[in-house]
């Protein structure tokens, strides 16, 4: 028996391809003389590699960053291996062999990884120096070690810890990075992420690595007005009911109607990335009306107050996903808002 196609999804995640392309072009322009790459790790920041890569390539992006080797095959379907950098580097012979077979360049993060890469045959790679985030990267004092100096480094990079803030740490990291760069013969230098681009020309060097801002995030105020929202969420109404004063709503009855209320159950919940933190102050929209979330967010559903609106089962409501505003409402970071999005959405790429 042939299984028929499933019915249309009750969850839609609309991706504005024109906004995504324009965001990359904007960040490339703001990068000045530096080239802008694109961070596409975490499945294109939750939007889907196959949904974002064609747009970014057409816009002009030529260097792409992922975190895990498991992310490489999907990106390879769109660009050659030498265009891809794996930020976690090579921890063992198998990862090094995969890098060589695909042409993907690892980002060397430690003395151990440098040895693994040398023992596998050496060749072109990237190198991460830790300039103060104390996460991944070779310590600055190791830059003169023969194992590091023998690397064929395409791009020397580091990562800013607090570029979204005005803090002295930014200048300290910049100084450490410059000192490291003076000790190594690298083809390119790269320090700035999305927020780092906005810190000014001193931080941009040869290659910038925007991520969040590509997808509509605004990590610094200087980017406001330049970056366009990319994501819109739509969810279907499952049921509409009338509540009487005193009626409870949702798990643990944390909300009770204090007057006659019209309530709608919507097909979206924390399994889709709309976490319980949305339940206080969160709202959906329909035909210009605001529908406050009432009660607890469930795994698959939220309940909204739709009193005074014409809302019927099967209608779709919007959840505003302008990331700075959504972050203030939910308490989640703009990064989390994108990467927690679940797999039940029909992801729809809209070209214009």
301's CB contacts (< 8 A; 6+ apart) are: 238, 265, 266, 267, 268, 269
In the annotation, is 259 catalytic? Answer: no
The one catalytic residue among 45, 203, 215, 251: 251
Distance CA 32, CA 197 (A): 9
Which two tokens mark 28?
A: 């490339």
Q: Which tokens is 67 given?
A: 């975190």
Between helices 17-30 and 49-59, what is the axis angle to 10°? 50
Cα–Cα distance, 277 to 303 (Å, whole number): 14
Give 35's strand partners: 207
Strands (DSSP E) contained in 192-282 are 207-208, 231-243, 248-249, 255-256, 261-266
Which tokens sit at 212?
Answer: 């969040």
Instruction: State the Cα–Cα distance between residues 235 and 227, nearest whole angstrom.
Output: 25
Residue 214 contacts by C-beta under 8 Å, 6 or more apart in sequence? 20, 23, 24, 27, 38, 39, 45, 52, 56, 194, 230
Is the Cα torsion angle 29, 172, 219, 276 positive or negative in sign? positive
**What angle (nearest 5°) sits at the alpha carbon of residue 150, between those of residues 84 and 179?**
80
Name the one residue in this structure whose structure tokens are 């979206």: 268
Give catalytic status of residue 251 as yes or no: yes
First to last CA, the chain: 39
Reduced to 3 states (helix: H, G, I; strand: E, B; else coil), residue 163 is: coil
Q: Is 94 helix (H, G, I), strand (E, B) or coil?
A: helix
**What tokens does 134 get?**
């104390």
The single residue of 41, 203, 321, 335 carrying the catalytic annotation is 41
Using an 8 Å Cβ cutoff, are 125 and 107 in contact?
A: yes
- Angstrom CA distances, 181 to 24, 113, 309, stand at 27, 19, 61
Active site members: 41, 251
């Amino acid at each position: 028996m042939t299984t028929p196609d499933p019915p249309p999804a009750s969850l839609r995640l609309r991706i504005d391809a024109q906004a995504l392309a324009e965001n990359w072009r904007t960040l490339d322009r703001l990068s000045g003389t530096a080239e802008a790459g694109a961070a596409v790790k975490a499945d294109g920041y939750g939007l889907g590699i196959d949904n974002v890569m064609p747009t970014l390539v057409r816009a002009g992006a030529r260097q792409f960053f992922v975190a895990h080797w498991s992310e490489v095959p999907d990106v390879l379907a769109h660009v050659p291996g030498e265009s891809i950098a794996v930020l976690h580097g090579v921890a063992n012979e198998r990862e090094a062999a995969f890098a060589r077979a695909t042409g993907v360049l690892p980002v060397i993060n430690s003395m151990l990884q440098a040895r693994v890469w040398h023992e596998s045959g050496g060749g072109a790679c990237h190198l991460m120096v830790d300039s103060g985030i104390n996460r991944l990267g070779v310590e600055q004092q190791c830059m003169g070690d023969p194992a590091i100096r023998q690397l064929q480094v395409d791009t020397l990079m580091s990562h800013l810890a607090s570029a979204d803030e005005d803090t002295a740490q930014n200048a300290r990291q910049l100084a450490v990075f410059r000192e490291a760069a003076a000790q190594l013969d690298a083809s390119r230098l790269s320090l700035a992420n999305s927020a780092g681009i906005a810190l000014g020309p001193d931080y941009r060097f040869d290659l910038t690595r925007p991520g969040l801002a590509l997808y509509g995030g605004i990590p610094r105020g200087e980017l406001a007005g330049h970056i366009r929202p990319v994501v819109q969420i739509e969810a279907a109404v499952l049921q509409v009911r009338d509540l009487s004063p005193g009626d409870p709503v949702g798990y643990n009855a944390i909300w009770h109607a204090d007057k006659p209320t019209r309530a709608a159950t919507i097909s979206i919940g924390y399994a889709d990335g709309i976490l319980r933190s949305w339940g206080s102050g969160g709202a959906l929209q329909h035909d210009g009306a605001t529908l406050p979330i009432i009660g607890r967010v469930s795994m698959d559903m939220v309940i909204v107050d739709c009193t005074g609106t014409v809302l019927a089962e099967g209608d779709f409501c919007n959840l505003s996903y302008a990331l700075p505003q959504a972050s203030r409402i939910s308490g989640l970071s703009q990064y989390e808002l994108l990467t927690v999005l679940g797999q039940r959405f029909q992801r729809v790429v809209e070209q214009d």
